[in-house]
Structure 1
Amino acid sequence: MKRFIYIITDRNRTNLHVGLCADLLKTLEFYSQMPNLFFDNSRQLSRLVYFEEINTEEQAVERFKYVSTFTRPMKEKMIRAVNPDWIDLTVGLNAERSARFARPQMRPAISSNRRAVTV
C-alpha cells in the first residue's frame, strides 16, 4: 500500500512539519478542518510544499524517520529542489483528483436508430 511523506508549513514558512500518511488528500483535509490543532491562528499549517509517494510501508517509515532528523536548512534544500517558489501543492492535487473523477466516458453512445449494414 502506498504511503506519503509530506512537509506542510504555515503562510510565513516559520514551521516545517514532516508527516507520514496513507491518504494525502484526507490528511490535508484534516489540517484544514482543524486549523488550530498544533498552533495559533498566525501559524496554521495549511500549505503543502513537499511530498513523496513511497510504495511500501517499511520504506516509508524509514524515510520518515530519516527526513524527521533533518535540520531546517536541510529541509529547505529538499523543498527548493522540487518546489523553488514554495507554492501550495494542494491546488494541483485537488485539480488532479477532480479531473480523475470528472472524466467523461470514452465509450460511444449506442443509438437505437442504427440499421444493420448490408453488403
Structure 2
Amino acid sequence: MEKYTVYIVTDSNRTYLETGICTDINMRLAEIKDASSILFAGTARLNNMVYTEIFDNKEQAETRQQQLKHFTRMQRERLVRSKNPNWLNLTMAPAPMSNKKVVVYA
C-alpha cells in the first residue's frame, strides 16, 4: 500500500512556499530542483523540504493539499514553525560532492 506525502518546499531565502503531493519524496525533490532551475532561471531554487505529512490514502492527501493551498502565507509559515521551528531541510539527500582536494595538515 502506497503512502502519500503532502509537503511544503521553499528556497533558501524562504521567498517561495510551494505545496505538493507525492509518493516518493526524494524523487519528487529531485524533480523540483530540476524544474526550478529551468522555470526560475537561477533566481530561486526550491530545494528545502521544510514540512511533510504522510497519509494512507490519496483522497486524504489531496484534501490536505487543497487546504494548504488555500492557506495564507502566514498560516503556512506558522504550520512549518510548529513542526520545524528552525526551517531545517527534512530530506535525507546526501550532500553534493565537491571537486576540491582535501588537504590534511599534520
> TM-score, length-normalised on structure 1?
0.72
The alignment of Structure 1 onto Structure 2 pairs a total of residues equal to 93
Name the counterpart of 1:102: none
| 8 A contact 1:3–1:56 mirrored in 2 | yes
Name the counterpart of 2:88: 87
Name the counterpart of 2:28: 27
Question: How much is the aligned-residue C-alpha RMSD, in angstroms?
Answer: 1.4
Structure 2: how far apart are the matches of 1:19 and 1:82?
A: 17
> TM-score, length-normalised on structure 2?
0.80
| 8 A contact 1:48–1:89 mirrored in 2 | yes
Larger radius of gyration: 1
In structure 2, the gaps of 5 or more residues are 95-106
In structure 1, the gaps of 5 or more residues are 96-119
Deviation, 1:38, is 3.2
Name the counterpart of 2:10: 9
Percent identity reads: 34
The SS at the match of 1:43 is coil
The SS at the match of 2:38 is coil
Higher relative contact order (CA 8 A, sep 6+): 2
Structure 2: how far apart are the matches of 1:17 and 1:40?
A: 17
Higher helix share: 1
